[in-house]
Chains A and B, each alone.
Chain A
Amino acid sequence: MLLITCPHCGTRDQSEFTYGGEAHISRPANSETMTDAQWAEFVFMRNNPKGVWAERWMHASGCRKWFNAVRDTSTDRFLAVYKIGEPRPNVTAAGLATPSGEPVIGSGNDAAKVMR
């Protein structure tokens, strides 16, 4: 179970939070002029990177505020949390890159279970 730092309340257990998927996707104001494909891009399509990305969380059992976080999906490590409306901080994951693009330790990559 992860520890997550709410930018309003501090560090709490993951069980207090709900997940909200990719961050920084704005609802289009001009949907009427969009093609089906463009609209579908907004409604259905999300990135799913192995590595660093920005995502949304809500402190459901706490202040109930939404916030954004930068997390490395290959290690589950949170690199930054910030309030809604604030720009995404420029942070990168620590650790050495492997050929698969993952850190040597901390990742679930079976190929890197043993130090070589």
Chain B
Amino acid sequence: MQRFRLHQGGLIDRSRPVHFTFDGRSYEGYTGDTLASALLANGVHMIARSFKYHRPRGILGAGSEDPAGLVQVGANANETDPNMRATEVEIFDGLETFSQNCWPSLSFDIGAVNDLVWRWLPAGFYYKTFMGPPANWMFFEPLIRRAAGLGKAPEGKDPDRYESQNRHCDVLVAGGGPSGLMAALTAARSGARVILSEETPLLGGRLNALDPSETSINGKTPREWVAACEAELAKLPNVTVLTRTCAFGYYADNFVALAQIEQDHLAPAARDAARPRQRLWRIRAKEVVLATGATERPLVFHGNDRPGIMLASAAETYLHRYGVKAGNRAVVFTNNNGAWGSAFALAKAGVQIVAIVDARPAPEEALMRQAASLGIPVHPHATIVDTRGQFRVKTAVVRRLDGHRGVSGEATVINCDLIAVSGGWSPNAALFSQSRGKLRFDAGLPGFRPGPSWQAERSAGAANGAMKLADCLAEGAAAGADAATKSGFAGTNPAAYTLQQPDAPSYNGIATWQLPSGRSASSTRAFVDLQNDVQAKDLKLAVQEGYASVEHAKRYTTTGMGTDQGKTVGINAFGILADELGKSMQEVGVTTYRQPFKPITFGALAGQHGGALYAPRRTTPMHDWHESHGAVFEPVGEWLRAQVYTRPGETFASALQREARTARTSVGVLDASTLGKIDIRGKDAREFLNRVYSNAWLKLAPGRCRYGLMLKEDGMVFDDGVTACLAEDHFHMTTTTGGAARVLNWLEEYLQTEWTDLEVYLTSVTEQWAVAAIGGPKAAEVVAAVADKFNPNPGNFPFMSFREATAGGIPARIFRISFTGELSYEINVPASYGLALWERVMAAGDKYKITAYGTEAMHLLRAEKGFIIVGQDTDGTVAPDDLRMPGMAKTSADFIGRRSLTRADTVRKDRKQLVGLLTEDPSVVLMEGAHIIATAVEPVERPAPALGHVTSSYKSPNLNRSIALALVKGGGELIGKTVYVSRKGADPIHATVVETDFMKQVGSHS
């Protein structure tokens, strides 16, 4: 039973009733209803509680401007959406919605106790209360967060799909009301590529809220005209019309982001799993038309926040768009002519208008006569000073204004169930402002409207301050023509139209930012921000306490900082501040409009980039083998590398110990394909290497390899790797896996910007080569079997050399280099042969019980030998000498970072240096990152002075004890001494400082 539904009218489909629930109770509405219109049709006004005082909140608006009618949509924990505006949620069969921020129920809410103590919860409550000891904050903050809150965030994985799409166009039109439609039609007819975005499900904007019997465009009713426009646009191949699509962000160079609802409004059974739930459009437009309309402002009076108090234009929208009466007995309260039209429209539909209260001293005669003819009592130069009604407004108390910011005369008490308010209209200039255009105060509106443009855009219609339909149509057509012309479609003329409309009085509003109540200022509860419970007196308090800038007053009071972005708040707040500060509106200005215009889901912003598509993943040619052999993968840079290979019955830890032991006692093989590889050619290649590596390179002979350190100009280690000389003018450089792109960019930068005289060519060949690193006592036997007619024995093939060979006919480059200290070979083959090589190695190694080992064992093995990993044992503050690696800084020639090595700071004796640590108890494995201190007991001083920290730490199967690498202040001088490693909840661990090569000093690996 939809008690407040009119028998006819509205753009809903009465043949398709819809059943939904709110707080568990079932209601009926029609297809085409929003949750708000359907609840109003059922006589439900109170739907929420406010953020701070838990005051009852109803429906103020009819679209995205609504501040406080927020609900939770959906019952599934992983799909539920909090803080949805009831005015935007489209209903479907089975929709479940809930009130939020109340407990145990909407009508009996414990949190409403906040409202009884409101005098003690003033503006800046947080700041004032928590200036004290931090412990207070820790205690109160969770309690307050629980009491003052909004909806519940969904939990778990989001089951829905999202997409994003990039698009270029000539003309983007934001807003599908009368101005936007005219702009889009005009531009589309010129042949320009046009995108028209409309936030709501229907094109037409304010036209949908007009009495269809009174207005005609091109001889059609407004709705017929909109349908004709829509049909024409749909036929044009150069036009994309996006409804349920909000242009929410205007960025640099006409980059505009749109959020489109694709399926939220459909019943679950009607949703297409192949399509996304929402879509993000990233539009680069040559020209933009902003036809974003205007928002009606509420009036700020004592008791203005009860359910049943609604914007006059919203009441009219519910009437004409949804066929719903927002009440039976209405008071209309206004400061402009516009709401008189709303009053007459409501009266015509059968709503009893029990009073028109107008704050202006002398409303126009024509309006007074029309009101008299309809029997509507008028209270000119008057204000509502109070309202009553716990969950819905029941009475309004009216008094005359005295013309001096006060009230006079007798109070008139009027019974009503609806107060339709209008404080004038504010152009929606958020996108314009985001585009860096400057606003201009127009005293005639009064309000802020767009000033000069900064980007290639223009505002049209109500967004530009034009409040008459005729002006909106004309401005829209002109803007469309201008945009099309400037985007390359010269000579585009504005589309023609004819408009028939009753003579509407001009809008003629005055500025009334706040209305007197006859009470003291401190006991007047006139709300400016209905979501965040900011009252006029809070803004006044902020001014008294010295917040003179709108930006500061906004933050101090949280005005307009709710999820509604203060769409109905702004100018009233600025006006109150201007009054208090005794400044003009221009001087006070506005707060900054920021993206997004309204809340956007994280899903839409993330688009496809979730789960496996979160980031690009690179895999080696041997990936499938790893996968089928129990590999646990870890991301390294963009690569997926095998971390360890678990065999049946093994844990991660036991597999790691087996791999590391086998690699030293028999033979192991590592997939090293991910190492960065750069092919370097040119007659100056050798000179170039000598400049980018800190050690000497001029004498490296063809066939030989060398380990090199790369520094930045600040002298700190940047990357390392082995580079082989293939020929006099040809080198093969390797870098760390994660540093490959960084190093290539770095080398390119120097070649292009500093050493333009050098003839050197760099090519990334990381993915051209697959690499198997074979190491261990049996490595030579395996390599001899893998390679064709190749003698890998150390006598024939010395350490740090390189040969071309074949392996089962596969062309190969074999390097004798080692990252473990064992006899090792790295066999490089063209990537497409990677798996064949790998399988050949595994077959050849079978009789030696060869093990594939992952990155974890590789880290462990190199730590046993004291080899560094750049980025783990170094952190951008470590110079070559800090690594205590001799011979890494040549004196014969300049190189990148050389001069920094003699800076006073780089030669300090107490710099942190890399050393080894052996714990007193060999079974204790230190925690990586743990702080090293100088005393056996934790010092009382906080923070405790640290000598350095542990960079790498492992349980070594080959040394049968724990080992660690650490950066320690003056570490080289501390060899043999004891240091202490801090830990939580227990005494520091004793450890001896040693050289980094554990294999050499702990020795005897079995």
Chain A residues within 8 Å of B, Cβ to Cβ: 1-3, 13, 18, 20, 26-27, 31-32, 34, 36, 39-40, 42-44, 56, 58, 60, 64-66, 75-76, 84-85, 104-108, 110, 112-116
Contacts and interface: CB of A to CB of B under 8 A. Distances in A.
A83 to B, nearest CB: 10
A85 B756 contact: yes
B745 interface: yes
Contacts of B451: 105, 114-115
Given A2-B253, A36-B904, A113-B590, A43 B713 contact: yes
Interface string B747-761: 011001110100000
Nearest to A20: B749
A116 B752 contact: no
B752 A108 contact: no
Given A56-B753, A113-B438, A116-B586, 14 more contacts: A1-B253, A27-B713, A32-B894, A39-B899, A40-B903, A43-B714, A43-B900, A60-B745, A105-B436, A106-B436, A114-B441, A114-B589, A115-B451, A115-B452
Nearest to B748: A64
A33 B154 CA distance: 64
B507 interface: no
A34 B557 CA distance: 56
Given A3-B253, A32-B899, A36-B903, A107 B452 contact: no
A115 B551 contact: no
B824 interface: no
B438 A114 contact: yes
Q: Which of A32, A39, A60, A75 has the most CB of B within 10 A?
A: A39
Given A58-B745, A60-B745, A112 B438 contact: yes
Contact of A114 (B284, B440, B900): B440
Given A56-B753, A64-B748, A114-B440, A76 B900 contact: no
B454 interface: yes
A105 B590 CA distance: 15
Contacts of A13: 284
B592 interface: yes
B560 to A, nearest CB: 15
B252 A76 contact: yes
A75 B438 CA distance: 13
The list of the 6 closest CB pairs from A to B, nearest first, reads: A31-B899, A115-B451, A3-B253, A106-B454, A114-B589, A115-B440
B633 interface: no
A39 B903 contact: yes
Contacts of B745: 18, 58, 60
B752 to A, nearest CB: 5
24 contacts: A1-B253, A1-B255, A13-B284, A20-B749, A27-B754, A32-B894, A36-B903, A39-B900, A39-B903, A43-B714, A56-B753, A58-B745, A65-B752, A75-B436, A75-B454, A84-B753, A104-B452, A105-B452, A110-B551, A110-B592, A113-B433, A113-B592, A114-B441, A115-B440
B684 to A, nearest CB: 16
Q: Which of B714, B752, B753 has the most CB of A within 10 A?
A: B753
Nearest to B593: A113
A98 B706 CA distance: 59
Interface in B451-474: 451-454
A113 B441 CA distance: 11
Interface string B430-441: 000100111111
Contacts of B587: 116
Interface string B415-441: 000000000000000000100111111
Nearest to B255: A1
Interface in B853-904: 894, 898-900, 903-904
B391 interface: no
Contacts of B454: 75, 105-106
Contacts of A116: 586-587
Contacts of A56: 753
Contacts of A36: 903-904
A107 B452 CA distance: 13
B253 A114 contact: no
B251 interface: yes
A34 B899 contact: yes
Nearest to B592: A110
B448 interface: yes
Nearest to A76: B252
Interface string B895-920: 00011100110000000000000000
Nearest to B251: A1
Contacts of A112: 438
Contacts of A3: 252-253, 284
A58 to B, nearest CB: 7
A44 B251 contact: no
A77 to B, nearest CB: 9
Nearest to B754: A27
A107 B436 contact: yes
A98 B894 CA distance: 48
A27 B899 CA distance: 11
A111 B251 CA distance: 20
A66 B749 contact: yes
B819 to A, nearest CB: 30
A20 B745 CA distance: 11
Nearest to A60: B745
A11 B340 CA distance: 53
Nearest to B714: A43
Contacts of B437: 105
Contacts of A106: 436, 454
Q: Which of B436, B587, B745, B900 has the most CB of A within 10 A?
A: B436
Contacts of B748: 58, 64, 66
Contacts of B589: 113-114
A113 B452 CA distance: 11
Contacts of B448: 114
A114 B749 contact: no
Contacts of B441: 114
A102 to B, nearest CB: 11
B252 A113 contact: no
A18 to B, nearest CB: 7
Given A20-B749, A36-B903, A105-B452, A115 B439 contact: yes
A12 B363 CA distance: 57
A84 B525 CA distance: 65
Q: Which of B433, B448, B745 has the most CB of A within 10 A?
A: B745
Given A39-B899, A114-B439, A26 B586 contact: no
B251 A84 contact: no
A104 B894 CA distance: 49
Contact of A31 (B438, B453, B898): B898
A114 B752 contact: no
Given A44-B714, A105-B454, A31 B255 contact: no
Contacts of A66: 748-749, 752-753
A88 to B, nearest CB: 14
Contacts of B452: 104-105, 115
Contacts of B440: 114-115
Nearest to B551: A110
A32 B899 CA distance: 7
A27 B895 CA distance: 11
A104 B438 contact: yes
A108 B899 CA distance: 40
A18 B742 CA distance: 12
A35 B451 CA distance: 54
Contacts of A31: 894, 898-899
Contacts of A104: 438, 452
A46 B322 CA distance: 62
B511 to A, nearest CB: 16
